[in-house]
A and B are shown apart, each in its own frame.
Chain A
């Protein structure tokens, strides 16, 4: 944390004097890098979903990892959410949002899987329940 605290709008590139010294890419190159990485990750996702070369049960996990990586790429290169000292507010808001997302999705899946496993004795009955 520097002595003087800066804020940066999400979507803005940093204008901190010390950030400019580091020769970090900004402007057109940063979007081009983002697009390049996003295209590679997307293409890999589509390839992984269709190939028979990979171990089938691991494909879903691999797809999830690729999606999370691509979300990270979009956040950094398109939305300019970084770990810079002027970006603390945006990162904290994002972290809280992600916490809620993980709780909602993870919690729902966990509870429903448990219910399906424990409360539905036969597949027939399970189909009957899930059909409504």
Chain B
């Protein structure tokens, strides 16, 4: 209890509360709820991964992964997403120390890297569709476009969310509600990178392996 009293005396929103001293702070409850959502999102992705793994050889005489995937593009996409995950972490640190300029800077870099990832992915999709490797071509390609496209949609949603959050920081500054939403955004963005690890390993690297 003595520790809890000390922390309460600091009176800072970001500090955790002891459960014996009352319910957890709203920040912890909100982030925990969002963590549960993210885990359910991962479970959804696991179903798409399972579908892809089952259908990966069902090419129906069409192109297989080894003919379609461009490793350089995938490597650059991976680098973009990893770097944006790092700058997103830097943004979280800037937010927790309430540095406005650094927050904008890291948010802009995170957004740019995420947009670069998305542009590369769309270019890859366009290239595949141009040579007839459309989702209708085979079960393998249906599963591929569903899995990778779903991740791409999540990244798109994350970019829109980041832009909205920056507008909120401009208008409302670091209000507790805005800071909580930014914490949730950071969780979302790091989770997308975790899903991308599974994606580039299972789809791209195992796809081109002999």
Contact = CB atoms under 8 A, between A and B. Distances in A.
A7 B205 contact: no
Nearest to B53: A109
A97 B42 contact: yes
B60 to A, nearest CB: 4
Chain B interface mostly helix, strand, loop or mixed? helix
A93 to B, nearest CB: 6
Given A4-B3, A28-B93, A104-B46, A79 B187 contact: yes
Nearest to A14: B16
Contacts of B193: 74, 78
A112 B57 CA distance: 12
A119 interface: no
Interface in A60-75: 60, 63-64, 66-67, 70-71, 74-75
A45 B205 contact: yes
Interface residues of B, number: 69
B36 interface: yes
A110 to B, nearest CB: 10
B110 interface: no
Given A4-B3, A131-B58, A94 B201 contact: no
B186 interface: yes
B75 interface: yes
Interface in B3-19: 3-4, 6-7, 14-19
Interface of A: 4-12, 15, 17, 27-28, 31, 34-35, 38-39, 42, 45-46, 48-50, 56, 59-60, 63-64, 66-67, 70-71, 74-75, 78-79, 86, 89-90, 93-94, 96-97, 100-101, 104-105, 107-109, 112, 130-132
19 contacts: A4-B4, A7-B19, A8-B28, A9-B32, A10-B35, A31-B93, A34-B89, A35-B82, A42-B82, A46-B78, A67-B197, A90-B32, A93-B35, A100-B46, A107-B50, A130-B60, A130-B139, A131-B138, A132-B139
